[in-house]
């Protein structure tokens, strides 16, 4: 018996539609099932990494003061 833990992608069985997904237990996979599961988990992780990268320190530091000011103004932030 193979016991694996994975992230249920939004819309998948066990997924709640949240971008972070849910941790679900999956037992007895064939090698094709494990490959599909790993592909799904990798896709979910990469999507989350892309979402997190939007607000990293490096991203903010790469922008000019003008760009940051315009973004703060357009989203209603305090200057």
Please write the tens of the pLDDT for every residue from 4-58: 445 555 555 555 545 444 445 555 568 888 999 999 999 999 999 988 888 788 8
Q: Is 21 exposed, middle or buried (0-12, 13-18, 19+ CB in 10 A)?
A: buried
26: β partners: 4
What confidence category does residue 63 fall into, taking pLDDT thresholds of 50, 70 and 90? very high
Q: Is 16 exposed, middle or buried (0-12, 13-18, 19+ CB in 10 A)?
A: exposed
Q: What is the mean pLDDT of residues 56-78?
A: 86
State the pTM of this model.
0.41
């Amino acid at each position: 018996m193979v016991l694996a833990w994975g992230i249920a992608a939004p819309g998948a069985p066990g997924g709640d539609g949240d971008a972070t997904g849910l941790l679900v237990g999956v037992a007895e996979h064939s090698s094709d099932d494990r490959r599909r599961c790993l592909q799904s988990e990798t896709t979910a992780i990469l999507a989350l990494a892309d979402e997190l990268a939007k607000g990293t320190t490096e991203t903010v530091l790469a922008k000019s003061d003008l760009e940051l000011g315009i973004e703060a103004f357009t989203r209603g932030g305090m200057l």
